Chains A and B, each alone.
Chain A
């Protein structure tokens, strides 16, 4: 059996591991644009100079050798032909497969504002190659403008602060981390970044940016007419599934590659996992999808059903936050808040079920919240302070000694 995996992110790696467990003799080939296996969640540590390329690798030592995987790195797939069961590489080489996994991830989205897409000093922060280019460009840049204050934008700022750059972050919403946090929790991070020297311009959009003679953008005009000087721009405005190579393949795509519950695409023997599916942008979900797709490529019929993806953890300057579920208040919500000088906790309840949790400062033992929220467990009968509800209230032990949540 000939397995081909496009992409060496966590989905591709987990799929390869799973395939090797189930098929010790099969031929596994991974093809990636990335020249190094790396964790995208640690790119800020590379920019900051805290870790080198090797320090971003999340696989075990000699991973490809140990698992007998033929890895073609720095190679781009340009076409996929499911009917001929082969793919075409940028070199023109064709590679055939029996089972194919699309795990090529996503690309940074650069919005069509002014000449952002044309300029040579504008970067997304998605791949190690982006981080490497940013570090290089930063050598001669003093003023950095970051568009977007989500996790990627703040990661970029965090890394570049270590390099002593003057950083301005423009965010169109009136608070930072608008997807993850409420205003109170966002202000805590804003204050920490400001103390470190970052300037925020909130509630504003970039409206004009023109390349100068050197091909670079040296100032961006905001929607209030104000100009911000910059030598390096980082656009953190989300990602789009990397589906360009699937054009004409007949593989059904919507925002990402369309998959069924078994993570099979519309074409036989072609599976997809990770960010390319657009199902979730969260690491654990991508890992899980990779395992399931890998098992199914080996003839299994596992379903991807742990789909919950509205969850995140944040850690900047030693201030940790966990947010799961809904953050914005809706009609009929009951909100409880607890706060002291070291922590802020906010829970949204509706009809006895937790809709969202935000914990900042102390996230100890907080894993149970995800279970309560994603399974919509009714906790109205538990006579406890809600912040003290824990696994003891649902405690079951299986014969093999593992825990199990009691039926609701």
Chain B
């Protein structure tokens, strides 16, 4: 499967990946230049964390080999696609219980801020050609896609 590999030491914390993710998943039309960064509907699926020593630690969904979010999903909304290996989310099936948020050991998932009915989850930009927007936007090549 393809995974976004993270070379965190190259990350300079610019958050271009997060902006790219917000742009890729915005509901309105437009370019990144008119993306409203303060609109709570525009949420990023990835985050850059900073550890206690000041090092940037990019947090991206791993589409785990043994995804604990899928194991916790009581509605069938989350499933690991046997072909691509990616973990996809079907919001029409979601029961909004958020056990997946509780069960992700890395704290990647969150409920959507506005309606608290959906999970904010990386979809590997499958609707935008399957080339993750975050990767294309990284100026440091701290993230890149690799077959694993």
A residues within 8 Å of B by Cβ?
A: 10, 39-42, 45, 57-60, 283-284, 287-288, 291, 311-313, 315, 318-320, 322, 324, 363-368, 370-371, 382-384, 390-393, 395, 397, 400-403, 405
Contacts and interface: CB of A to CB of B under 8 A. Distances in A.
Contact of A367 (B5, B102, B148): B102
Nearest to B69: A367
Contacts of A390: 49, 107
Contacts of A322: 98, 101-102
Nearest to A363: B101
A367 B105 contact: yes
Contacts, number: 132
A287 B103 CA distance: 12
B35 interface: no
A367 B103 contact: yes
B111 A363 contact: yes
A283 B102 contact: no
Interface of B: 3-6, 8, 47, 49-52, 55, 57, 59, 62, 64-65, 68, 71-76, 79, 95-99, 101-111, 113, 115-117, 146, 148
B107 A391 contact: yes
A59 B79 CA distance: 10
A347 to B, nearest CB: 15
A402 B65 contact: yes
A12 to B, nearest CB: 14
Contacts of A368: 105-107
29 contacts: A40-B74, A42-B95, A57-B76, A58-B74, A58-B76, A59-B76, A283-B72, A284-B103, A312-B102, A315-B96, A318-B116, A320-B116, A363-B111, A364-B111, A365-B107, A365-B108, A367-B102, A367-B105, A367-B108, A370-B105, A371-B105, A384-B52, A390-B49, A391-B49, A391-B107, A392-B57, A395-B8, A395-B51, A401-B146
A137 B115 CA distance: 33
B103 A365 contact: no
Given A313-B102, A365-B109, A391 B116 contact: no
Contacts of B113: 364
A315 B102 contact: no
Given A60-B76, A401-B146, A393 B105 contact: no
Contacts of B99: 283-284, 313
Nearest to B47: A365
Contact of B52 (A319, A366, A393): A393
Contacts of A402: 3, 62, 64-65
Given A318-B115, A384-B52, A284 B101 contact: no
Contacts of B50: 392
Contact of A60 (B6, B52, B79): B79
Contacts of B105: 367-368, 370-371, 403, 405
A137 to B, nearest CB: 24
Contacts of B59: 391-392
Nearest to A14: B71
B9 to A, nearest CB: 11
Given A370-B102, A391-B107, A402-B64, 5 more contacts: A57-B76, A58-B75, A284-B72, A392-B55, A402-B3
